[in-house]
Amino acid sequence: MKRAYVVDAARTAVGKFGGALSSVRPDDLGAEMIKALIKRNPSIDINEIEDVILGAANQAGEDNRNVARMSLLMAGLPVTVPGLTINRLCASSLQAIADVSKNIAVGYGNMFIAGGVESMTRAPFVMPKAEAAYSRSNKVYDTSIGWRFINPKLSEMYFPFPMGETAENLVEKYGITREEQDLFAHNTQQKYQNALDAGKFKDEIIPIHIPQRKGDDIIFAQDEHPRLSSIDKLGSLNAAFRKGGTVTAGNSSGVNDGAAGLLIVSEEALKRYNLEPIAEVVSSAAAGVPPEIMGIGPVPATQKALKRAGIGVKDLDLIELNEAFAAQAIACMRDLDLNPDIVNVNGGSIAIGHPLGASGARITNTLLHELKNRPNAKYALATMCIGVGQGVAVVFKKC
């Protein structure tokens, strides 16, 4: 089995809903990310890129018809380079990383781009065709987030809880308090601000030039979702999903836009193009859990990935656990007995944002750039929960 190495990781800054990236199409975001990876690695032969695999969770609007292929063509890659778009909802781009590493392991290519893109702002409204002429019963869905077109048979088997309700289910199951959630959210915002002040994101964020109708382009190069607030302010927010609940907008991730990607190569490509690896992709795993507590998905996925890597939780030096909700992250940390001092050390998705199909590559970007700068760190984990009850985890080893 061949080894897969990450040699670079780059991302756009994450835009808030209706924010700076609202005028930028998802295929343009993907193209900018690909162009940046190519520009940052001038020694490679782009004709030798085996595939571009991007995750996208929506695919109902401008990201339809294989946004990976559209993005790579717009980035100027040769037409001979193929593109594949995959969908494992929130973990789509983390799955892309896992799939690329498996391709390299079995010798199906030496160089890949893996990542993801999502514009939740530009996600369209959709409606089904009428079952009968002149029907007045059609429903319009906002595809930014959540269920649509659910099969009645499935909804009878598994109630289609909105994502926030699944977090409330974990609150009940694990006895998580509102105070714990708000403190977690406050801490992740503070960690992000500290990391920003220390220049921690300068190597991972690529500037995006956004044309304006009048005047110069806007250069977008800083996450705009973070909202540092006091514990008192967080405590004053109303429950967002369930009457009498504890999950709020303040202790949940956002609805966001962005793109992120990694250049992943074989050992042969490392030598051929004189590339310096950041980390080896050691193992990966996906797992299923009950849809009504989808947020616990990282637990079995992490357990499987660690077993495949031949290590335990205590061997991990850094962890990125995607923060869909504070309650969900707390539940996973309890079950896995994670050391909070190594989890999301530069802030997580409650602060940075959660552009669904791009988030897996985003958390991996942040993880690997931090891993690179920690002399004594060796093993790192990226893991995420997924709507409809799944989890994905990937284990990395510093080179």
The answer to whether 11 and 201 have CB atoms below 8 angstroms apart is no
Q: What's CA 324's distance to the chain center, in Å?
A: 10
Tokens of 361: 């590559």
Q: What CA–CA distance (Å, rounded) separates 394 from 84?
A: 20
Cα(189)–Cα(165) distance, integer angstroms: 23
Establish whether 385 is a catalytic residue.
yes
What's the CA gap between 360 and 383, in Å, rounded? 8
Examine the residue annotation and report whether 90 is marked as an active-site residue of this protein: yes
Closest alpha carbon to 258 in 190, 132, 356, 380:
356
Q: How far apart are CA 302 and CA 123, in angstroms?
A: 31
Q: Which residues pair with 316 in a beta bridge?
A: 379
Say whether 399 is catalytic. Answer: no
| Lookup: tokens for 306 | 């660690």
The residue written with tokens 């193929």 in the block is 82
Rounded-to-integer distance, Cα 246 and Cα 249, Å: 10
Contacts (Cβ under 8 Å, ≥6 apart) of 350: 184, 185, 188, 189, 251, 252, 253, 254, 323, 326
Query: CB neighbours of 131 closer than 8 A, spacing ≥ 6?
Result: 137
Selecting among 186, 225, 332, 354, the annotated active-site residue is 354
DSSP state of 220: E
Distance separating alpha carbons of residues 364 and 57, to the nearest angstrom: 17
Tell me the C-alpha distance between 52 and 55, whole Å: 10
Catalytic residue among 90, 186, 225, 332: 90
For 176: left if phi > 0, alpha if psi spans -120 to 50, otherwise beta; the answer is beta
Provide the annotated active-site residues. Answer: 90, 354, 385
